Amino acid sequence: MKTFLQDYHYGTEYDRQGMEPHFLDWAHQPVPYKTYQGIAPVHLPEISGLYPGSLRQVYEGEGFSSSENVPGLEDLSRILYLANGLTGKARQGGADFYFRSAPSAGALYPNEIYLVWPGGGGLAPGVFHYGVHNRSLTPLRTGNFVPAVHAFAEDEKSGPIAVFFVSGIFFRSAWKYRKRAYRYVLMDAGHVMESLRLAVRAAGFSCRLVYAFDDAAVNHLLGFDPEKEVSIGCVYVYGSGKGAVELKKSPGLRIEVLPESIRGASKTSEREIRYHEILDIHRAGSDIVPPAGPPVDMAACLGLLPVPFGAVSSPDALEKQLLSYARTVSARRSRRNFVQQPMHSDQLAFMVDLICRASDVSTDGGQGYSSAIAVGLLVGNVDGTPPGFYLVDVRLRRLHRVFEGNVTGEMAAVSLDQQWLANAGVQFLFMTNLDVLDRQWGARGYRYAMLTAGRLGHAVYLGATALGLGACGIGAIYDGEARRLLGLNPSSSLVYVVAAGVIKGG
The Cα–Cα gap between 116 and 161 comes to 9
The residue extents of the domains of the chain are 53-284, 298-501
Burial of 92 (0-12, 13-18, 19+ CB in 10 A): exposed
Find the Cα–Cα–Cα–Cα dihedral 95, 100, 102, 105, rounded to 10°. Answer: 0
Q: Where are the beta strands (DSSP E) in 159-285?
A: 162-169, 207-210, 229-237
Q: Which residues contact 234 (CB under 8 A, 6 or more apart)?
A: 149, 153, 163, 164, 165, 166, 209, 210, 211, 213, 218
End-to-end CA distance of the chain: 50
pLDDT digits (tens, 9 = 90+) for 254-270: 799 999 999 999 999 99
What DSSP assignment string belongs to 455-471?
HHHHHHHHHHHHTT-EE
The Cα–Cα gap between 449 and 368 comes to 11
The Cα–Cα gap between 128 and 115 comes to 5
Q: Count CB-CB contacts under 10 A for residue 52.
A: 12
The Cα–Cα gap between 114 and 131 comes to 9
Q: Which residues contact 179 (CB under 8 A, 6 or more apart)?
A: 11, 12, 275, 277, 278
Q: What are the residues facing 493 on neighbouring strands?
A: 432
What is the C-alpha R_g of the chain?
22
Q: What is the DSSP letter of 405?
A: S
Closest to 415 (Cα-Cα) out of 488, 491, 332, 486: 486
The maximal CA–CA distance of the chain, rounded, in angstroms, is: 65
311 φ, ψ to 5°? -85, 155
Residue 63's pLDDT is 53
pTM of the predicted protein model:
0.96
The Cα–Cα gap between 112 and 172 comes to 11
CATH 3.40.50.1980 for the 298-501 domain, yes or no = no
Q: What are the residues facing 457 on neighbouring strands?
A: none
* Number of residues in the chain: 506
Q: Count CB-CB contacts under 10 A for residue 257.
A: 9
The Cα–Cα gap between 184 and 191 comes to 10
Please name the fold of domain 53-284: NADH Oxidase (3.40.109)
pLDDT digits (tens, 9 = 90+) for 373-429: 999 999 999 999 999 999 999 999 999 999 999 999 999 999 999 999 999 999 999
Q: Count CB-CB contacts under 10 A for residue 241.
A: 10
Residues of the chain with pLDDT under 50: 242-251
269 φ, ψ to 5°? -155, 150
Residue 67's pLDDT is 58
Q: What are the residues facing 404 on neighbouring strands?
A: 388
What DSSP assignment string belongs to 88-154?
EEEEETTEEEEEESS--GGG---EEEEEEE-SBTTB-SEEEEEETTTTEEEEEEES--HHHHHHHTT
The Cα–Cα gap between 92 and 427 comes to 28
The Cα–Cα gap between 75 and 47 comes to 9
Residue 289's pLDDT is 86
Closest to 334 (Cα-Cα) out of 235, 188, 150: 188
Q: Count CB-CB contacts under 10 A for residue 89.
A: 10
Q: Strands across the sheet with 126-131, in order?
A: 42-43, 136-142, 126-131, 111-117, 162-169, 229-237, 207-210
Half-sphere exposure of 372 toward its Cβ, with a 13 Å CA cutoff? 31
